[in-house]
């Protein structure tokens, strides 16, 4: 796992995905959230889904506050394209990535990093707040 921290954009998979985000807009966010809808979730897909969920939360007015500059710029330019329906999709994705059928959850559990799970809980709460 090419990660140097537990936050959404502190891994190679999420940062590489940002290039796709610039090219594809909100559809890329939705595709990334849908990629973890069922089955076992591989770590790269999980990392990207968490990043997409963070962008969705920010677009709904509940940002983490510690974004790479290009992410904040994207949210300002395109965030209005993401809806409450996308926030629900993101919430489901975060719950799945943090669950039992997730390689990423297994890796962070093995690393004994409870902060990762805490960051997912925080993200889930921000997404729930967007849903009212």
- pTM equals 0.95
Whether 33 is in a domain gets the answer: yes
The 3-state DSSP composition of the chain as helix, strand, coil percent (nearest 5) reads 70, 5, 25
> How far is it, in rounded angstroms, from Cα 14 to Cα 2?
10
Whether 2 is in a domain gets the answer: no
Q: Is the dihedral of CA 70, 36, 1, 111 positive or negative?
A: positive
Query: In the prediction, which pLDDT does 79 show?
Result: 94
> How far is it, in rounded angstroms, from Cα 27 to Cα 124?
21
What string of H, E and C letters represents the secondary structure of 110-124?
Answer: HCCCHHHHHHHHHHH
Whether 85 is in a domain gets the answer: yes
Whether 1 is in a domain gets the answer: no
Whether 5 is in a domain gets the answer: no
> How far is it, in rounded angstroms, from Cα 117 to Cα 99?
10
Q: What is the pLDDT of residues 26-38, one digit of tens each?
A: 999 999 999 999 9
Among the residue ranges 31-35, 44-48, 61-65, 87-91, the one predicted with the least confidence is: 61-65
- Nearest residue to 41 via CA among 113, 106, 85: 106
Whether 103 is in a domain gets the answer: yes
Query: Which domain, by its residues, includes 42?
Result: 12-131
Mean pLDDT of 83-88: 97
- Taking each helix axis as running N to C, give the angle between helix 103-110 and helix 114-131, from 0 to 180 degrees, rounded to the nearest 10: 140
Confidence of residue 64 (pLDDT cuts 50, 70, 90): confident
Total residues belonging to the chain: 132
Q: What is the pLDDT of residues 99-124, one digit of tens each?
A: 999 999 999 999 998 999 999 999 99
Confidence of residue 16 (pLDDT cuts 50, 70, 90): very high
């Amino acid at each position: 796992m090419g990660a140097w921290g537990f936050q959404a954009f502190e891994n190679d998979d999420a940062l590489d995905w940002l290039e796709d985000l610039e090219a594809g807009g909100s559809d890329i966010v939705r595709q990334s959230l849908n990629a973890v809808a069922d089955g076992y979730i591989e770590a790269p897909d999980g990392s990207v889904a968490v990043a997409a969920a963070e962008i969705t939360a920010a677009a709904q007015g509940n940002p983490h506050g510690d974004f790479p500059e290009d992410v904040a710029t994207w949210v300002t330019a395109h965030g209005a394209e993401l809806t409450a329906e996308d926030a629900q999709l993101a919430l489901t994705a975060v719950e799945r990535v943090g669950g039992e059928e997730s390689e990423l959850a297994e890796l962070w559990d093995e690393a004994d990093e409870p902060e990762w799970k805490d960051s997912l809980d925080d993200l889930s709460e921000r997404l729930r707040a967007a849903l009212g």
